[in-house]
Amino acid sequence: MREIAVRGFINEKFNATFGKGLFRRAVFNGSVELHNPNQKYLVDYFSYLEWEAQAKSDKQIEATSQLTNSGIAQEDEMLFSWLIHYDPLTKSKERADGYSVYSPNTRELFIKIDDPTNQTQDEWTLNVHGCKATGANKPVFIATNVDLT
């Protein structure tokens, strides 16, 4: 089983403008870290309609259809994210196929990554734990399948 850790942070800029009529709509920002081989992805969790509007590729449009048909898109409080692969050495970011769904109510997080270029094709359902110490640069939740201590 491949080790994964997802950290979620409150988006301090939520609903702030970055242009005329343009708002930052991600409720949470976060990172996804994998081991063996080490990979990092960035996530921004949006409401379904905000997330769906960002779908560009055929695989993303297919994912929105699957989630709409499953009924999960209609559930209140669900948050959705596309994935951005992040290379810490070059600091480059590029879209990766896959998505994540976070349910604050049931405290579950699902993530599916389809990124053969970076040796990652897998999916996980993880329990989410709130963090006791919150604040600037500290996550508000973490979801993992490994003991981080």
Tell me which residue of 139, 93, 143 sits closest to 118, measured CA to CA: 93
User: What is the pLDDT at residue 11?
Assistant: 79
Which tens digits make up the pLDDT trace of 35-87? 989 999 999 999 999 999 999 999 999 999 999 999 998 888 999 999 999 99
pLDDT, residue 108, reads 96
pTM over 0.75: yes
- pLDDT computed for residue 147 by the predictor: 79
117-146 mean pLDDT: 89
Backbone φ/ψ region at 107: left (φ over 0), alpha (ψ -120 to 50), beta: left
7-46 pLDDT tens trace: 999 877 766 666 665 556 788 999 999 998 999 999 999 9
Q: pLDDT at position 137, please?
A: 77
DSSP 91: T
Of 134, 102, 112, the residue nearest 41 (C-alpha): 112
State residue 23's pLDDT score: 57
Query: What are the sequence ranges of the domains in the chain?
Result: 4-144
More confident position, 109 or 134: 109
Closest CA to 79 of 128, 34, 122, 40: 128
Whole-angstrom distance, CA of residue 78 vs CA of residue 72: 8
- The larger pLDDT score, comparing residue 131 to residue 108, is at 108
pLDDT band at 148 (very low <50, low <70, confident <90, very high): low
Q: Are strands 141-144 and 79-87 parallel, antiparallel or unpaired?
A: unpaired
